[in-house]
Amino acid sequence: MDTAPPASADAEAQSPGGRAIVLVAHGSPDPDWARPIVAVLDRVRARLDAERPGVVVRLHLLSQGLPHLEGVVADLARIGCADVRVVACFLSAGGRHFKRDLPDHVAHVQQQLPQVRLTLAPAPLGEDDEVIAALASAAVRLGAG
């Protein structure tokens, strides 16, 4: 499992005021758990490289805690990212992580790093219509064979 930034990560943010996305997922001590979310991370990076060069993407896994969200955002600030959007890779906004834990983490990091504009996406990935459609298609394909 490789959640580290790519070798060219410092080159991704090319000027002060750069933008970044931090994908946040639950995580697990089992390294196999992270494979799909790392695949999402890789696809997000590839798409942004093609469509919005210069946007940096990182991953934070809640259950493992490392790297801490504050450390991830501090590293982004160090390379010039002043606008960071946190995107929850959860299926629902109805759980404690999205309702309380993640907003609390974001607020704490914002206090510690006021030079960074840190925002939490208004909904987790699982509530996006395209994700719901993709999940339904996969359920039909996997279930109906």
Q: What is the pLDDT of residue 64?
A: 65
Helix (H) or strand (E) holding 39: helix 35-51
8 in Cβ contact with 45 (< 8 Å)? no
What single letter denotes the amino acid at residue 32? D
pTM: 0.86
User: Over the stretch 90-118, which tens digit does the pLDDT of each residue have?
Assistant: 999 999 889 999 999 999 999 999 999 99
CATH architecture of 9-144: 3-Layer(aba) Sandwich (3.40)
pLDDT tens-place values along the chain, 145 residues long? 445 455 444 444 444 569 999 999 998 888 899 999 999 999 999 999 999 999 999 999 987 656 689 999 999 999 999 999 999 999 999 998 899 999 999 999 999 999 999 999 999 999 999 999 999 999 999 999 7
Which segments of 52-120 does DSSP mark as H helices, in order?
69-78, 96, 102-112
State the chain's mean pLDDT as an integer: 88
- Give the number of other CB atoms < 10 A from CB of residue 10: 14
Which DSSP state fits 21?
E
Residues 63 and 65: their CA atoms lie apart, in Å, by: 5
- Give the length of the chain: 145
Q: What is the pLDDT of residue 10?
A: 43
Domain boundaries defined on the chain: 9-144
Q: What is the pLDDT of residue 17?
A: 66
